[in-house]
Amino acid sequence: MYILKLAFRNFFRNTRRSIISGVSVALAIAVIIFARSYMKGIIENISENTINLISGHILITTEEYERRERMIPLEESIELSPEFYGLLESEEVDVVSGRIKFGVLLGEEDLSVPALGYAIDPEKERHIARLDRRLQKGAYIATGEPAALFGRELAKRLDVDIGDTVTIITRTAYDSPTGINLVINGIFSTGIGGIDRSLFYIPLDIGQQLLDLEGRATEVVVLVRNPDKAIAIARAIQMRTDLSVVPYQYNPLLRYINTFSIVYSLFYLIVLLVACSAIANTMLMVVYERTREIGMLKALGLNTFSIINLLTIEAGIIGLIGSSVGTLLGGVLSYWLKYRGLDLSMMSSTTSADMPFGPIIYFSPTSFIIVSGFVFGLLVTIVVALLPISKVTRLEPAKALKSI
Amino acid sequence: MNNVVIIVGVLLFSMMPFAQTGIEIIERVDNNRVVASLSYKATLVINIAGKVREKSFEGFAEGEDRAYFEFTAPARDRGTRFLQIDDEMWMYIPAVEKATKIAGHMLRQSLMGSDFSYDDFTENKELLDMYDIEMLESDTCLGATCYVLELTANVAEVSYYRRKMWVSESTYIPLKTNLYAKSGKLLKAVTVLEVREFDTRHYPVRVLMENKLRRNTSTELILEDIQIDITVPSNIFTKAYLERK
């Protein structure tokens, strides 16, 4: 108790020094909590967009289609037969929807704009791609209508708007040139440059007619009730078919992003090292400035353990206050941006153009991020302070008293 | 001595028609291939990894730069039409009800999924105007004695930078042609499977094209009902005719 009182008194003896130490801890912890919440927000944003717009929770294609996906091989299609749907029958499966991805050329007369079309089941895709919620203007598409939803930037490139007719030219699954005139029903915006710039959607039945794929699809997207079980469900489906069945966790983009998050962990480490060096420096000053005082305490009979205790508690107070302030700061900011979102498009006009996530990043702080940030700050401060403390306490009282 | 000179002179003179230059050979090749006008019916037999599809069409060509053809089968392709005027090509798809221009690199893309490109199909320009010619050692090809020639482009607007041709000594038809990119990469191999004799020329009527950039594919072009140097109604080579209902 006496040591604790002494430690508190010492903490306030040089308030400016204590504040500088506390602030460096607070800033480091705030930055770490902020950065981790931001990164988690980005990863969740990418995952959600990938699941909604590309892979669903499980993506089924033929093996050959998966192998040559870049070539968009329309001849590699799946018949959407009752037998096929039977393969997927399970209480765990929520929605199953066929899609056809196809490359097209657009333009008034000279077909100068390449784009990517998706033929989708409009009703089922309300739960998957959710384009009805991403409409910027106009109306959603319906089965049987030769109509399309155009990405905002694609519409801009073609200088077309709601109600305009666009001719698309493509190739059927049998490699014959084919085309259709489509009315633009709606213009959507995902905020992802690559998608808004080159994608359009048409009803599945219209796409099947256009591409000579009646009753077929090249991709089948599955949503499951519990996404965490996607791998197990995909395995169960795979047992019953020789098609390619890929859960979203194995999506190359998401795998890459997860690998990339390791790089970001290095960033946290660097932030922490900078903070550590500040703390270590302060503690070094604290300890060496008080070498004589430590010598005096030793001469008066205070044992080494008590001195270590005293100085560790002092470091702990700095760590506790700094981490608390940092956690509060980083936490409040992250939770605020979780609801408000950070609009990256405000920072640069080209920010969202080539990134696989939308321009508004909703931070994703968790209790784990907050608590681990706090504990980390506290522990690191104490551990870093122990080095100079142990050095000084090893000094002889007579030598310590002689030091300047 | 004088007799010897005369004999050698006569011998040399008598050999001259046989020692043709590359230019002369290509002139005769061009005489065969370049027609003033033409009408035909044709079938493309497209073989992709063992899967065979047939597509039939009929068409007209006039001069170096006017061609028209229309697909008649299978049903899904019926009514798809193409029109080439100068360096421009237009396509008409019945569902779209208007002509669309095919330009630039698209002309080098596959025609109806075959190994032929749009360019291959409509090419009717004289080789002499586009290539420098080098004659190589004669060889046998498909059972015939052939002149072997290497043609290197001297203009930019060619589909293939280099061609190696095995030209039949008897018909002046290139029985085999390898088509190369500027990098030296083999792009396509053309083999003439059947030649028919018309009044003043020989003309290939069965041609096998292999696009070496695709795997396990080949396309056989079979020409029937060929009529050469006919009068083609001028309205055929118009956009209005292409877009007719």
pLDDT tens per residue, range A25-49: 898 889 889 988 988 888 888 888 8
Test mutation, A72, A167, A174, chain B, max B CBs within 10 A: A174
Q: How do residues A283-339 score in pLDDT, each as one tens digit?
A: 777 777 777 777 888 788 878 888 888 888 888 888 899 999 999 999 999 999 999
Predicted confidence at residue A108, as pLDDT, reads 67
Q: How far apart are CA B63 and CA B42, in angstroms?
A: 19
Q: Whose CA is closest to B163, among B201, B125, B220?
A: B125
- Per-residue pLDDT for B210 more than 60? yes
Nearest to A111 among B53, B101, B112 (CB): B101
Closest-CA residue of A relative to B114 is: A175
Mean pLDDT of chain A: 86
Find residues 174-203 of chain A whose CB sits inside 8 Å of chain B: 174-181
Phi and psi based region of residue B81 (left: phi greater than 0; alpha: psi -120 to 50; beta: remaining) = beta
Does A71 reach chain B within 8 Å, measured CB to CB? Answer: no
Mean pLDDT of B65-86: 91
Mean pLDDT over B95-123 rounds to 83
pLDDT score for A356: 66
**Percentage above 90 pLDDT, chain A:** 43
Size of interface A-B (CB pairs under 8 A): 52
DSSP string for A156-170: HHHT--TT-EEEEEE
A169 touches chain B (CB under 8 A): yes
The DSSP-derived string for A32-98 is: HHHHHHHHHHHHHHHHHHIIIIII-SEEEE-HHHHHTGGG--TTS-EE--HHHHHHT--TTEEEEEE
- Single-letter code of the amino acid located at A155: A
CB contact under 8 A, B106 and A111: yes
CB contact under 8 A, A178 and B95: yes
CA dihedral sign, ordered B104, B105, B108, B111: negative
A176 pLDDT higher than 90 = no
Measured between beta carbons, the chain A residues lying within 8 angstroms of B93 are: 169, 177-179
Best CA proximity match to A167, nearest among B94, B177, B13: B94
Average pLDDT over residues A108-115: 75
Cα B218 to Cα A72, A238, B42, B211, B238, distances in angstroms? 21, 35, 16, 7, 32
Rounded-to-integer distance, Cα B162 and Cα B156, Å: 12
pLDDT at B106: 72
Q: What percent of chain B is predicted at pLDDT more than 70?
A: 91
Give me the pLDDT at residue A227, please.
Answer: 93
pLDDT above 70 for B92: yes
3-class DSSP assignment, residue A175: coil
pLDDT for A272 equals 73
Distance, CA of A188 to CA of A134 (rounded, Å): 5
Query: Mean pLDDT for chain B?
Result: 86
More confident residue, A352 or A159: A159
Collect all residues with Cβ–Cβ distance below 8 Å to B163 and sequence separation of at least 6: B127, B131, B150, B151, B177, B178, B179, B180
What distance in Å separates the CA atoms of residue A157 and residue B1, rounded to the nearest whole number?
Answer: 85
Cβ within 8 Å, pair B101-A109 = yes
pLDDT above 70 for A344: yes
Quote the minimal CA–CA distance from A151 to chain B in Å. Answer: 22
- Whether residue B105 lies within 8 A of chain A, CB to CB, comes out as no
- CB count in 10 Å sphere of residue A222: 26
- Residue B230, chain A, CB below 8 Å: the answer is no
Residue A142 to residue A121: CA distance in whole angstroms = 8
Q: Where are the alpha helices (DSSP H) in B22-88?
A: 22-33
Q: How far is A110 from chain B (nearest CA, A)?
A: 5
Mean pLDDT for the stretch of residues A60-87 = 93
Contacts of A181 in chain B (CB under 8 A): 95-97
Mean pLDDT, residues A97-119: 86
Is the pLDDT at A348 greater than 70? The verdict is no
Do A183 and A148 contact (CB within 8 A), yes or no? yes
Reported ipTM: the value is: 0.71
A169/B93 Cβ within 8 A: yes
* Distance separating alpha carbons of residues A196 and A157, to the nearest angstrom: 11
Contact B112 A178 (CB under 8 A): no
Question: Shortest CA distance to B193 belongs to which of B175, B171, B173, B168?
Answer: B175
Q: Which two tokens stand for residue B3?
A: 């007799």
Task: Say whether pLDDT at A246 is over 90.
Answer: yes
Separation in Å, CA of A101 to nearest CA in chain B: 18
In this complex, is the C-beta atom of B55 within 8 Å of any C-beta atom belonging to chain A? yes
Q: What are phi and psi of B116, to 5 degrees?
A: -85, 145
Residue A109 has pLDDT above 80, yes or no: no
Summarize pLDDT for B11-50 with one digit per residue, the tens. 444 444 445 788 899 999 988 888 889 999 999 999 988 8
Instruction: Answer with the residue of higher pLDDT: B232 or B15.
Output: B232
Residue A341 has pLDDT above 90, yes or no: no
Residue A367 pLDDT greater than 50, yes or no:
yes
Q: Are A154 and A194 in contact (CB under 8 A)?
A: no
pLDDT-based confidence at A5, cuts 50/70/90?
confident
Q: Is A394 helix (H, G, I), strand (E, B) or coil?
A: coil
- Count other Cβ atoms within 10 Å, centred on residue B184: 8
Question: Using 50, 70 and 90 to split pLDDT, how confident is the model at A1?
Answer: low
- For A274, the token pair is 């900078």
pLDDT, position B216: 86
Q: In B, which residues are within 8 Å of A212 by CB distance?
A: 76
Tell me the chain B residues in contact with residue A113 when contact means C-beta distances shorter than 8 Å: none
Quote the pLDDT of residue A287: 73
H or E element at residue A384: helix A367-393
pLDDT tens per residue, range B123-160? 767 788 899 999 998 888 888 899 999 999 998 888 89
Strand, coil or helix: A245: strand
Quick check: A244 contacting B, CB < 8 Å? no
Q: Nearest chain A residue to B91 by CA: give it.
A: A177
The owner of tokens 């006017």 is B66
Measured distance CA(A129)–CA(A219) in Å, rounded: 14
Q: Which of A35, A38, A37, A44 is nearest to A356 (CA)?
A: A44
Closest CA to A220 of A254, A252, A238, A245: A245
Cβ-Cβ contacts under 8 Å for A2 (sequence gap 6 or more)? none
Residues in chain B closer than 8 A to A105 (CB atoms): 106
Q: How confident is the model at residue A390, as a pLDDT?
A: 77
Integer Rg of chain A from CA: 31
